[in-house]
């Protein structure tokens, strides 16, 4: 989701949590006994399976276990450094918002699935047509693939994404009474939904704390030494252990904004960046 949630357009506010009560999905992920197992397992894998593995582990417990693991030597940053980093992001990107346009958890979920390797702007163009024709999970669940493909054709990998959208909508209808579930554990059981997408939906649609580890958050976490892992799952766990929970949503938005404007992938604009304690600072 290179470009997902990077923009500064506003999302909807005041969205309500799903009240749907559903039986536990027999295919739901099994909790790991040790978070340290997450990193090697997810290396080089597609996001879906590996993300689901840690979905059911309580976040604080996962963070503690990760830091105690004898297999890792990662040293978290000091509280003072983390506070300075958070203050930098807060003051530099006070208005950072999700770049996807949506009016409901359903719309955000579908838009986020479409945003994988696709610019927010392109997704927003595609979803205007998509949501006009299929305003809720019920209507999308009954759609033909060709109809959905027609709506999202401008997005990369539109055939696979169209299938994911329909499969996801069908699961929402059959297992969650047509309402997008509001927990990470349930969200990651849906087709096309990994931890990254689930955390976007939790944070932006339901206001529930979630850390979105997309390409920008991953890159910047490594540059700031907030993690030393290549695994998004492990990075999320490392961040959970250092960033206060009440800052998770804003932190994700702000880091993504930083990745778009200054801390660029190929050539970070360090001379213009005020983060003096960054160990990866490149001289002008």
Residues binding ligand SF4 (CB under 6 A): 223, 262-263, 268-270, 273, 275, 278, 280-282
| Nearer to ligand SF4 among residue 223 and residue 260 (C-beta) | 223
Could you tell me the CA-to-CA distances from 82 to 68, 85, 88, 189, 214 in Å, in that order?
A: 19, 5, 10, 33, 20
| Nearer to ligand SF4 among residue 87 and residue 145 (C-beta) | 87
| Nearer to ligand SF4 among residue 154 and residue 277 (C-beta) | 277
Q: Closest separation between CB of residue 139 and ligand SF4, Å?
A: 43
Catalytic: 79? no
Structure tokens belonging to residue 189: 């059981």
Catalytic: 150? no
Q: Closest separation between CB of residue 162 and ligand SF4, Å?
A: 36
Could you tell me the CA-to-CA distances from 264 to 102, 118, 237, 278 in Å, in that order?
A: 27, 17, 23, 14
| Nearer to ligand SF4 among residue 221 and residue 234 (C-beta) | 221
| Nearer to ligand SF4 among residue 122 and residue 280 (C-beta) | 280
Q: Closest separation between CB of residue 129 and ligand SF4, Å?
A: 37
- The catalytically annotated residue of 161, 196, 218, 233 is 196
- The catalytically annotated residue of 214, 218, 233, 238 is 214
| Nearer to ligand SF4 among residue 148 and residue 275 (C-beta) | 275
Q: Closest separation between CB of residue 262 and ligand SF4, Å?
A: 5
The whole-angstrom separation of Cα 102 and Cα 124 is: 9
Q: What is the 3-state secondary structure (H, E, C) of the chain?
A: CCCCCCCCCCCCCCCCCCCCCCCCCCCCCCCCCCHHHHHHHHCCCCHHHHHHHCCCCCHHHHHHHHHHCCCCCCCCCCHHHHHHHHHHHHHHCCCCCCCCCCCCHHHHHHHHHHCCCCCHHHHHHHHHHHHHHCCCHHHHHCCCHHHHHHHHCCCCCHHHHHHHHHHHHHHHHHHHCCCCCCCHHHHCCCCCCCHHHHHHHHHHHHCCCCCCCCHHHHHHHHHCCCCCCCCHHHHHHHHHHHCCHHHHHHHHHHHHHHHHHCCCCCCCCHHHCCCCCCCCCCCC
Q: Closest separation between CB of residue 154 and ligand SF4, Å?
A: 31
Q: Closest separation between CB of residue 40 and ligand SF4, Å?
A: 27
Catalytic site residues? Answer: 196, 214
């Amino acid at each position: 989701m290179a470009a997902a949630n990077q923009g500064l357009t506003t999302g909807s506010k005041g969205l309500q949590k799903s009240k749907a009560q559903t039986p536990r999905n027999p295919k739901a992920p099994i909790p790991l006994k040790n978070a340290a197992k997450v990193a090697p397992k997810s290396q080089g894998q597609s996001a879906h399976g590996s993300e689901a593995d840690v979905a059911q582990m309580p976040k604080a417990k996962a963070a503690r276990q990760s830091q105690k693991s004898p297999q890792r030597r990662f040293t978290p940053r000091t509280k003072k450094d983390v506070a300075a980093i958070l203050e930098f992001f807060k003051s530099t990107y006070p208005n950072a918002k999700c770049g996807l346009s949506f009016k409901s958890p359903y719309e955000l979920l579908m838009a986020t699935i479409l945003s994988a390797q696709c610019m927010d702007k392109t997704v927003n163009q595609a979803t205007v047509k998509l949501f006009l024709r299929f305003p809720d999970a019920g209507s999308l669940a009954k759609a033909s693939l060709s109809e959905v493909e027609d709506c999202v054709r401008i997005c990369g990998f539109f055939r696979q994404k169209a299938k994911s959208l329909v499969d996801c909508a069908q699961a929402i209808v059959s297992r969650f009474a047509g309402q997008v579930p509001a927990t990470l554990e349930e969200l990651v059981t849906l087709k096309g939904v990994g931890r990254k997408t689930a955390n976007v939906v939790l944070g932006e649609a339901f206001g529930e704390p979630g850390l979105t580890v997309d390409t920008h958050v991953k890159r910047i976490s490594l540059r700031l030494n907030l993690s030393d892992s290549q695994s998004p799952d492990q990075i999320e766990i490392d961040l959970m252990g250092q960033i206060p929970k009440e800052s998770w949503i804003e932190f994700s938005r702000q880091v993504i904004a930083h990745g778009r404007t200054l801390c660029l992938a190929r050539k970070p604009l360090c001379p213009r960046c005020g983060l003096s304690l960054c160990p990866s600072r490149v001289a002008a």
